[in-house]
Amino acid sequence: MESLHLTLKQEPIAPLEAECISPTGFLGKSADQIRRLPLLHGKDRVELGEFFDVKGDSQAGRVVVEGDLARVKYLGCAMDRGTLCVKGPAGMHLGERMAGGTIEVEGDVDDWAGAQMTGGMIRIRGDAGNLAGATLPGEKQGASGGCIVIHGDAGNEVGASMSGGLVVVAGDCSDFAGVGMRGGILAILGSAGRRAGAGMADGVMVCIGDLQLLPTFVYSCTYRPVFLRVLGEHLRRVGVTGMGVGGSTPPGRVDELYRRYVGDANDRGKGEILLCQSENTA
Amino acid sequence: MQINGVRIDDAASEAYDLVGTRVIITADSPELACAAAMNFTGYATAVAACECEAGIEGPALNTTTPDGRPGVAVLFFASTQENLEAQLVARIQQSVMSCPTSACYSGLASETQIAVGTGLRLFGDGWQSDIVLEGKRYWRIPVMDGEFVVEAAFGCAAGVGGANFVIFGEALDAVLAAGHDAVEAVAGVPGVILPYPSGMLRSGFRLGSRYKSAPVSTYAPLCPTLRGRSESSLPDGVHAAVQVVVSGLGIDCVGDALRAGIRAACRRRDGVAGITAASHGGKVGPHKVELHEVLQLPGDSDTLSEEEF
């Protein structure tokens, strides 16, 4: 497939803010025009061509960025179409306020991945930092749509204040997962840290591994939620097998019993935490 | 025209416009899914009498259902989009939601959608909740075995109903055997249903009656017991007839179904005298399905021999 290739020439010594690097930002631009797009290196305004080799054509809507991009921020920010492939680690604010398209990252990603996203899909093959799919400082609402799949672990406050969409963490989460959730689904296939679901007003958190519940969550029942099967089928289609249907590898989790808790009673209390019975025996 | 020695009349059946959807009903076991589907499609033979037409299209494999459980695909038709929505909401509530472990999803991708789950959610009395996956909203309605999950919007598309052919023969046994073969063949065609019990209709009708309160009445020309008292369309020696009525998602698949059904009905020619179609002078619907046209015999031939068959 025809695509535009950006290769990092030199590692930035300060954070490089590259909001324009996305299929949306490159739409209708030639390679020369793309090389002249402005980036912010620390406090200095620089041209994209100073840090990246640019080859190929962006018309097909596929952009590939290669290199150690751990200090490159805002990759795929506000993108609404196309595919962005990041081959290497990515910096903060990847896919922030994203509305459509797909971001594939073959590495770890720093904080605020997919923060306040409204649509599209982010797949992170490595670990994610803090606040994936969460809200930005000073804002009230986190992700309201789209899907974030983290194949590794996630940091603190994953899905904080999210109001819609789906965040899947195939590994473990640190503290305050789903804090202040207003909607959407946060699926943790590993374990969650302390105070998961604190201030949860609505939405669903599913946890396969250990989760220390706050006392402000109330037990409802133990059952097999049918909607988890729909979720499991969806996850299977997006390449996450840890919750797949029976017969998949690892064994499907959707056939198991789940303990349902509602809360947080300190807030509206319409949130829901589903704990896999076989993994949470406490 | 003849197929395997069975006469095919140069006749056409009428078909009327419908609006339809495909409903996927799943449950923990195939038996429960089937029980819900059977109840859901009960008393749904003709829109004129039942407000809807419905039938089981076939099993939905657990690899294809949205929740990975065994299921049944049902085609459901009504005369208008509004009627379709109202009938679906009422029937899913009474016949599917009531069945333990069941769930209900749209099985038709279409830009035209009706708010089925959105209507059903009110049963939750404020306790319902929803999830959105891949742009599709699913309502979760609390019920006594957990939750009933139903997709919010169902895709709908234009359909046709009433297309038919009539098998007539020397004895009822032969006609029924040919009818069963036809029904089996039609069941293998995707996008169509046979809304009548066993797929066959013996009470073919005409519009109108000598009684003011009866909108339809028996189709006398095809009733063997009325031969001698009323004008009969049945040839001499014919003592029974059954009609196979097909509804489907478009005139093309209905044509495919009629072709498959007629050819199957001609397989065992013993006792089958011929195939015709019931027509109502254009009063039932705007579509005409010509039997000779749908059969598409090769070249200019008007006969399909046993070998070709």
**Could B147 and A270 be called an inter-chain contact, meaning their C-beta atoms sit closer than 8 Å?**
no
Q: Is residue A184 part of a domain?
A: yes
pLDDT band with cut points at 50, 70 and 90 for residue A239: confident
Mean pLDDT of A64-89: 96
pLDDT band with cut points at 50, 70 and 90 for residue A246: very low
Of the given ranges (A37-46, A232-241, A263-272, B151-160), which has the lowest mean pLDDT?
A232-241
**Could A165 and B68 be called an inter-chain contact, meaning their C-beta atoms sit closer than 8 Å?**
no
Across B137-154, b (16+ Cβ under 10 Å) vs e yields: bbbbbeeeebbbbbbbbb
Residue-wise pLDDT tens digits, A110-164: 999 999 999 999 999 999 999 999 999 999 999 999 999 999 999 999 999 999 9
Q: Is residue A4 part of a domain?
A: no
pLDDT band with cut points at 50, 70 and 90 for residue A196: very high
**Could A233 and B103 be called an inter-chain contact, meaning their C-beta atoms sit closer than 8 Å?**
no
Q: Is residue A70 part of a domain?
A: no
Give the pLDDT of residue B210.
Answer: 94
**Could B68 and A225 be called an inter-chain contact, meaning their C-beta atoms sit closer than 8 Å?**
no
User: Nearest to residue B75, comparing CAs of B15, B135, B12, B157?
Assistant: B157
Class for the domain spanning B19-157? alpha beta
Q: Residue A249 class from Cβ within 10 Å (0-12 exposed, 13-18 middle, 19+ buried)?
A: exposed
| Cβ–Cβ contact A235 with B under 8 A | no
Give the pLDDT of residue B166.
Answer: 96
Domain membership of residue A199 as a residue range: 111-276
**Could A233 and B146 be called an inter-chain contact, meaning their C-beta atoms sit closer than 8 Å?**
no
d(CA A150, CA A74): 18
| Cβ–Cβ contact B284 with A under 8 A | no
Count of pairs with CB atoms under 8 A, one residue in A, one in B: 51
Give the pLDDT of residue A281.
Answer: 65
Find the closest chain B residue to A232 by CA distance: B67
A-facing residues of B in 157-186 (CB < 8 A) are none
Q: Is residue A51 part of a domain?
A: no
In the predicted structure, residue A181 carries a pLDDT above the cut 60: yes
Per CB-CB distance under 8 Å, the chain B contacts of A221 are 146
In the predicted structure, residue A269 carries a pLDDT above the cut 60: yes
**Could A145 and B132 be called an inter-chain contact, meaning their C-beta atoms sit closer than 8 Å?**
yes
What ipTM was predicted for this assembly? Answer: 0.91
d(CA A6, CA A126): 21
**3-state SS string for chain A:** CCCEEEEECCCCCCCEECCCCCCCCCCCCCHHHHHCCEEEECCEEEEHHHHEEEEECCCCCEEEEECCECCEECCCCCCEEEEEEEECCECCCCCCCCCEEEEEECCCECCCCCCCCCCCEEEECCCECCCCCCCCCCCCCCCEEEEEEECCCECCCCCCCCEEEEEEECCCECCCCCCCCEEEEEEECCCCCCCCCCCCCEEEEEECCCCCCCCCCEEEEEECCHHHHHHHHHHHHCCCCCCCCCCCCCCCCCCCCEEEEEECCCCCCCEEEEEECCCCCC
Closest Cβ–Cβ partner in B129, B133, B146 for A166: B133
Q: What is the DSSP string of B133-168?
A: ETTEEEEEEEETTEEEEEES-EE-EEEEEEEEEEEE
Structural contact between residues A99 and A78, judged by C-beta atoms closer than 8 angstroms: yes
Nearest CA-CA distance, residue A205 and chain B, Å = 12
Best mutation target, B133, B139, B144, B149, to test chain A (most A CBs within 10 A): B133
Q: Which residues contact residue A144 at a Cβ distance below 8 angstroms, ignoring those fewer than 6 apart?
A: A116, A117, A118, A162, A163, A164, A165, A183, A184
In the predicted structure, residue A1 carries a pLDDT above the cut 50: yes
Tell me the Cα Rg of chain A.
Answer: 19
**Could B68 and A223 be called an inter-chain contact, meaning their C-beta atoms sit closer than 8 Å?**
no
Per CB-CB distance under 8 Å, the chain B contacts of A270 are 129
Q: Is residue A198 part of a domain?
A: yes
Give the pLDDT of residue A58.
Answer: 79
Closest Cβ–Cβ partner in B129, B134, B149 for A226: B149
- What is this structure's pTM? 0.92
Domain count of the fold of chain A: 1
Q: Is residue A52 part of a domain?
A: no
Give the pLDDT of residue A100.
Answer: 96
| Cβ–Cβ contact A245 with B under 8 A | yes
Percent of chain A, pLDDT > 70? 95
In the predicted structure, residue A244 carries a pLDDT above the cut 90: no
Per CB-CB distance under 8 Å, the chain A contacts of B133 are 166, 185, 230-231, 234
d(CA A197, CA A194): 9
Residue-wise pLDDT tens digits, A11-55: 999 999 999 999 999 999 999 999 999 999 999 999 999 999 999
| Cβ–Cβ contact A178 with B under 8 A | no
**Could A227 and B69 be called an inter-chain contact, meaning their C-beta atoms sit closer than 8 Å?**
no
**Segments of chain B assigned E as strands:** 2-3, 6-8, 12-26, 53-60, 71-78, 103-106, 113-114, 129-133, 136-143, 146-151, 154-155, 157-169, 192-193, 200-201, 205-207, 216-218, 240-248, 272-276, 287-290, 303-304
In the predicted structure, residue A245 carries a pLDDT above the cut 50: no
pLDDT band with cut points at 50, 70 and 90 for residue A241: confident
Give the pLDDT of residue A238.
Answer: 84
**Could B134 and A229 be called an inter-chain contact, meaning their C-beta atoms sit closer than 8 Å?**
no
CATH number for the region B2-14+160-304 comes to: 3.30.70.520
Give the pLDDT of residue B309.
Answer: 57
Structural contact between residues B154 and B23, judged by C-beta atoms closer than 8 angstroms: yes
| Cβ–Cβ contact A143 with B under 8 A | no
In the predicted structure, residue A214 carries a pLDDT above the cut 90: yes
A-facing residues of B in 134-153 (CB < 8 A) are 134, 138, 140, 145-147, 149
Q: Is residue A11 part of a domain?
A: no
pLDDT band with cut points at 50, 70 and 90 for residue A248: very low
Mean of the per-residue pLDDT values of chain A: 92
Q: Is residue A8 part of a domain?
A: no
Give the distance from CA A264 to its chain's centroid. 23
Find the closest chain A residue to B145 by CA distance: A223
Per CB-CB distance under 8 Å, the chain B contacts of A145 are 132
CA distances from B285 to A68, A187, B277 (A): 68, 52, 14
Nearest CA-CA distance, residue B22 and chain A, Å = 18
Per CB-CB distance under 8 Å, the chain A contacts of B134 are 234
Give the pLDDT of residue B308.
Answer: 61
Q: Note down pLDDT in tens along chain B; length 309 residues.
A: 889 889 999 999 999 999 999 999 999 999 999 999 999 999 999 998 899 999 999 998 767 899 999 999 999 999 999 999 999 999 999 999 999 999 999 999 999 999 999 999 999 999 999 999 989 999 999 999 999 999 999 999 999 999 999 999 999 999 999 999 999 999 999 999 999 999 999 999 888 899 999 989 999 999 999 999 999 999 999 999 999 999 999 999 999 999 999 999 998 778 899 999 988 878 888 999 999 999 976 655 666 665 565
Please state whether beta strands B303-304 and B6-8 pair in parallel, antiparallel, or not at all (unpaired). Answer: unpaired
Residue ranges per domain, chain B? 2-14+160-304, 19-157
Give the pLDDT of residue A59.
Answer: 82
In the predicted structure, residue A237 carries a pLDDT above the cut 90: no
Best mutation target, A227, A255, A260, to test chain B (most B CBs within 10 A): A227
